[in-house]
């Protein structure tokens, strides 16, 4: 397959930058400056390290991802952000592990619930399943349950809308906790933003006799989302503030170190997902060791375990040449409208299924590029698991099979999983970058299918067009409803209606951007995008 002009340009750029490019400490910490994108929470900032990722070669992309992942383990400095290895964070992990230990020692009427949306819910599932398996092997009562917004179908497909529904969050929590007298609830929201999780935390706070809430996320508390949630009197931030008060007497716990902005802005499946996995596995492993091996939960022990994950990260990226070759091959497949398939078994294959399913919301579905209905249900990246969808042990019935040989989850396997996750994230992200799905380090074809993504889409339009917010909002709405003139019905519609309409529309943000940049009609913008199917290139033409 002949290298395209764009691919040729990438190579040149990388030669200029030097494939051995390393970053200075100040570059690694640039995002921490109070002047850097001050209006955005860390989880939504764009990472200065990946500003040029859209024009980088495969090996440069891997180096950029390596540097971004390394930011997870950077030390806390002065009064800036709390980090993974900060004293306060490690201390909270010790406290939460002790709560889990109490549950394990007295499992009657008790439960540990892990809950989240999208990737956070998938990790809730993976982690609770693997620790329940460990309990089953020891003939112990199972104490872990998971909740994912949108139910089990969200485990392997993108369901972004249920994230906005706090009532559904509460209902699903009530359902899994029926009859329980003591529940440790672990809500995961990387951006401290999902209304689904906010609703559950609020419910826990209203029933302290049963629930102890724990929040896992990667923004400082003052950056928790403060937008009103329709039908609720609370916002995510107000829930966090109540939790902060209760945290002083250990009636609630907050685990929210900053891990730095994602390599692709807002793509919390990457560092957010990895850090969630690390934190929760460290906590639950310590509790298991204390209960079943009599190993006390200590600050030092937790810190050592965290450092083992840092080592897994270093070992993984020591193979950066191999990863780059894989990424290049995957990118080439996508560039010629072929696909990437992950084949495997056990929990590693499960990670492949998850990584593949996350490509749709992150990079836009392949069908939208090809406008080919036949391919509607197939993605650019697909996962397969040996044994098929049989014995997943998910709560809503069979989906998938995990092999017997992966039953137990000793710490080393957990790090092996992290390594696999990093690699798969790098391959799928890198291949889509090489295909031209990213502009700078933004996913320009983001589908505004929930309130977080709708706001992100508007912000992106502002950033790339330089037009005022109101004009961007208006043009986005025109692209959602496919009209050049907005009616009163449209302008007075609520965000829920807009999101539901956007779900069935392709290339909403690229269309809006072309309109904003050129002043053309939607029809003209559509034909412009048809001529240049690689959105990044289409946008570049307009920008130049
Ligand atoms: C992000 C992923 C999303 C998020 C989901 C939950 O890469 O595609 O599905 O996981 O939006 O986000 P959060 O911030 O509540 O964990």
Collapsing DSSP states into helix, strand and coil, what is residue 146?
strand
Collapsing DSSP states into helix, strand and coil, what is residue 184?
strand
CA separation (Å) from 32 to 191, 432, 442? 16, 28, 19
Q: Give the C-alpha separation, 465 to 516, whole Å.
A: 6
| Residue-level pLDDT at 535 | 74
Query: Is residue 206 scored above 60 in pLDDT?
Result: yes
Query: Does the beta carbon of 117 lie inside 6 Å of ligand 1?
Result: yes
Query: Is residue 376 scored above 90 in pLDDT?
Result: no
Least confident of 104-118, 359-373, 528-542: 359-373
| Residue-level pLDDT at 368 | 34
| Residue-level pLDDT at 42 | 98
CA dihedral 276, 280, 281, 285 (to 10 degrees): 170
| Residue-level pLDDT at 402 | 38
Which ligand 1 atom is the nearest neighbour of the CA of 272?
16
Q: How remote is the CA of residue 270 from the centroid of ligand 1, in Å?
A: 10
| Residue-level pLDDT at 378 | 55
Residue of the CA atom closest to atom 5 of ligand 1: 118
Query: Does the beta carbon of 193 lie inside 6 Å of ligand 1?
Result: yes
Collapsing DSSP states into helix, strand and coil, what is residue 118?
coil
Query: Is residue 365 scored above 70 in pLDDT?
Result: no
Query: Is residue 408 scored above 70 in pLDDT?
Result: no
Helix boundaries (H) for 265-407: 271-292, 299-317, 320-335, 346-363, 366-370
Collapsing DSSP states into helix, strand and coil, what is residue 443?
strand
Q: Give the C-alpha separation, 353 to 384, whole Å.
A: 7
Least confident of 229-233, 251-255, 364-368, 489-493: 364-368
Q: How remote is the CA of residue 118 from the centroid of ligand 1, in Å?
A: 5
Residue of the CA atom closest to atom 11 of ligand 1: 118
Higher pLDDT, 407 or 203: 203
Per residue in 158-182, pLDDT tens?
Answer: 888 899 999 999 999 999 999 999 9
Give the pLDDT mean for 62-86. Answer: 93
| Residue-level pLDDT at 330 | 95
Query: Is residue 30 scored above 70 in pLDDT?
Result: yes
Q: How confident is the model at residue 411 (pLDDT cuts 50, 70, 90)?
A: low
Whether ipTM > 0.85 holds is: yes
Structure tokens at 179: 């009859």
> What does the DSSP assignment read for 359-414?
HHHHH--HHHHHT-GGGTT--SEEEEETT-SS----TTS------GGG-S--HHHH
Q: How confident is the model at residue 10 (pLDDT cuts 50, 70, 90)?
A: low
Least confident of 81-90, 293-302, 309-318, 347-356: 347-356
Q: Give the C-alpha separation, 429 to 331, whole Å.
A: 9
Measured N-to-C along each axis, helices 299-317 and 87-105 cross at an angle, to the nearest 10 degrees, of: 110
With beta carbons less than 8 A apart as the criterion, state whether 491 and 478 touch.
no
Percent residues over pLDDT 90 in the chain: 73
| Spatial CB neighbours of 138, under 8 Å, sequence gap ≥ 6 | 292
Query: Does the beta carbon of 331 lie inside 6 Å of ligand 1?
Result: no
Q: Give the C-alpha separation, 509 to 448, whole Å.
A: 8
| Residue-level pLDDT at 69 | 98
Q: How confident is the model at residue 540 (pLDDT cuts 50, 70, 90)?
A: confident
Q: How remote is the CA of residue 120 from the centroid of ligand 1, in Å?
A: 6
Q: How confident is the model at residue 77 (pLDDT cuts 50, 70, 90)?
A: confident
Q: How remote is the CA of residue 117 from the centroid of ligand 1, in Å?
A: 6
Which ligand 1 atom is the nearest neighbour of the CA of 362?
8
With beta carbons less than 8 A apart as the criterion, state whether 329 and 339 touch.
no
Helix boundaries (H) for 207-250: 236-247
Which ligand 1 atom is the nearest neighbour of the CA of 450?
11
| Residue-level pLDDT at 384 | 84
Per residue in 249-308, pLDDT tens?
Answer: 999 999 999 999 999 999 999 999 999 999 999 999 999 999 999 999 999 999 999 999
| Residue-level pLDDT at 364 | 62
Mean pLDDT (the chain) is 89
| Residue-level pLDDT at 383 | 86
Higher pLDDT, 505 or 243: 243
Query: Is residue 398 scored above 60 in pLDDT?
Result: no
Query: Does the beta carbon of 116 lie inside 6 Å of ligand 1?
Result: yes
Which ligand 1 atom is the nearest neighbour of the CA of 122?
10
Substitution candidate for ligand 1 out of 190, 192, 236, 259 with most atoms within 8 A of CB:
190
| Residue-level pLDDT at 182 | 97
Query: Does the beta carbon of 195 lie inside 6 Å of ligand 1?
Result: no
Q: How confident is the model at residue 21 (pLDDT cuts 50, 70, 90)?
A: low
Query: Does the beta carbon of 269 lie inside 6 Å of ligand 1?
Result: yes
């Amino acid at each position: 397959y002949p290298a395209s002009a764009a691919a040729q340009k990438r190579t040149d750029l990388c030669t200029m930058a030097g494939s051995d490019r390393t970053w200075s400490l100040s570059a690694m910490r640039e995002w921490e400056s109070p002047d850097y994108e001050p209006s955005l929470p860390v989880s939504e900032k764009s990472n200065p390290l990946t500003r040029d990722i859209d024009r980088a070669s495969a090996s440069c992309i891997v180096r950029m991802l390596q540097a971004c992942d390394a930011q997870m383990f950077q030390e806390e400095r002065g009064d800036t952000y709390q980090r993974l290895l900060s004293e306060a964070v490690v201390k909270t992990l010790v406290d939460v592990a002790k709560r889990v230990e109490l549950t394990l020692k007295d499992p009657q009427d008790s439960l540990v619930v892990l809950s989240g949306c999208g990737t956070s819910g998938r990790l809730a599932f993976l982690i609770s399943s693997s620790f329940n398996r460990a309990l089953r092997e020891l003939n112990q009562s199972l104490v872990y349950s998971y909740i994912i917004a949108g139910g089990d179908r969200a485990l392997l497909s993108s369901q972004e809308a249920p994230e906005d529904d706090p009532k559904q969050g509460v209902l699903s929590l009530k359902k899994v906790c029926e009859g329980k007298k003591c529940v440790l609830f672990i809500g995961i929201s990387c951006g401290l933003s999902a209304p689904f999780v906010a609703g559950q935390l609020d419910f826990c706070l209203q029933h302290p006799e049963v629930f102890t809430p724990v929040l896992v996320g990667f923004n400082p508390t003052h950056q928790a989302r403060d937008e009103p949630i329709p039908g609720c009197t609370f916002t995510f931030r107000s829930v966090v503030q109540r939790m902060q008060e209760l945290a002083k007497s250990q009636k609630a716990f907050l685990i929210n170190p900053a891990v730095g902005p994602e390599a692709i802005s807002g793509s919390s499946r990457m560092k957010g997902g990895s850090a969630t996995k690390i934190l929760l596995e460290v906590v639950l492993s310590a509790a298991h060791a204390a209960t079943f091996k009599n190993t006390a939960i200590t600050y030092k022990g937790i810190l050592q375990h965290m450092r083992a994950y840092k080592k897994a990260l270093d070992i993984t990226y020591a193979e950066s040449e191999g990863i780059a070759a894989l990424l290049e091959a995957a990118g080439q497949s996508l560039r010629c409208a072929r696909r990437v398939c992950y084949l495997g078994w056990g929990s590693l294959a499960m990670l492949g299924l998850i990584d593949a399913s996350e490509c749709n919301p992150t990079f836009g579905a392949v069908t939208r590029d090809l406008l080919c209905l036949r391919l509607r249900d197939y993605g650019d990246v697909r996962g397969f698991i040996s044994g098929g969808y049989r014995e997943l042990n998910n709560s809503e019935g069979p989906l998938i099979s995990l092999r017997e040989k992966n039953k137990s989850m000793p710490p080393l396997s957990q790090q092996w999983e992290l390594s696999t996750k990093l690699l798969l994230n790098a391959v799928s992200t890198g291949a889509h970058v090489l295909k031209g799905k990213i502009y700078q380090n933004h996913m320009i074809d983001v589908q505004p299918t929930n309130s977080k993504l709708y706001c992100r889409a508007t912000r992106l339009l502002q950033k790339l067009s330089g037009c005022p917010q109101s004009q961007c909002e208006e043009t986005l709405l025109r692209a959602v409803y496919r009209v050049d003139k907005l009616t009163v019905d449209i302008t007075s519609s609520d965000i829920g209606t807009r999101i539901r309409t956007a779900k069935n529309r392709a290339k909403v943000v690229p269309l809006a951007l072309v309109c904003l940049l050129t002043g053309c009609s939607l029809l003209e913008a559509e034909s412009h995008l048809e001529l240049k199917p690689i959105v990044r290139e289409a946008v570049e033409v307009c920008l130049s």
